[in-house]
Amino acid sequence: MQTLNDIDLRTDPGAAHYIKEEVVQVVFAGAAGELASREGPNRYGPGDAIVTGATGDRWVVSRSRFDARYVALGGGAYRNQPVPVLAKEMDAPFAIARSAGGDVLTGKAGDWLMQYAPGDYGITERARFLAVYRRA
């Protein structure tokens, strides 16, 4: 499995901008912990968002990123802001750190590498990507 380092999808001709359209359920962590997502560990601190997507997948978003990217709908439901993210479908298994020194995520061939900002990455399984993302 290839471990990706110093990747910048802004200069990758195989990457494009996509927008997520999804209503999610959220609880905010009362204490530090770790969530095992499909792609790997997601450590979180007090106040961080523990998100459950429409496809049942779970992941963590830091509170500072969450507040800038999601709008409350009530009853623990939130809708993401339509912020374009860079994404690239990968043709081989791969691994990447969510951020410098952060949790290492792993993906399979066909999964999508996501870049939210320079040095800020995620992985989205192919079926989930096709269900909730559209080309910007």
Contact status, residue 47 vs residue 112, Cβ threshold 8 Å: no
pLDDT for res 6: 84
Please tell me the pTM assigned to this model.
0.81
| Six token digits for residue 108 | 């399979």
Q: Is the dihedral of CA 64, 72, 54, 22 positive or negative?
A: negative
**Tens digit of each residue's pLDDT (9 = 90 or more) over 37-82:** 888 888 999 999 999 998 888 999 999 889 988 999 999 999 999 9
Strands 112-117 and 2-3, bridge-based pairing? unpaired
Angle at 32 between CA 31 and CA 38, to 5 degrees: 120
**Tens digit of each residue's pLDDT (9 = 90 or more) over 3-16:** 999 899 999 999 99
Identify residue 96 by its one-letter amino acid code.
I
Q: Is residue 98 exposed (0-12), middle (13-18) or buried (19+ Cβ within 10 Å)?
A: buried
Rounded to whole angstroms, the Cα distance separating 1 from 22 reads: 31
pLDDT for res 39: 83
**Tens digit of each residue's pLDDT (9 = 90 or more) over 74-124:** 999 999 999 899 999 999 999 999 887 788 999 999 999 999 989 999 999
pLDDT for res 40: 84
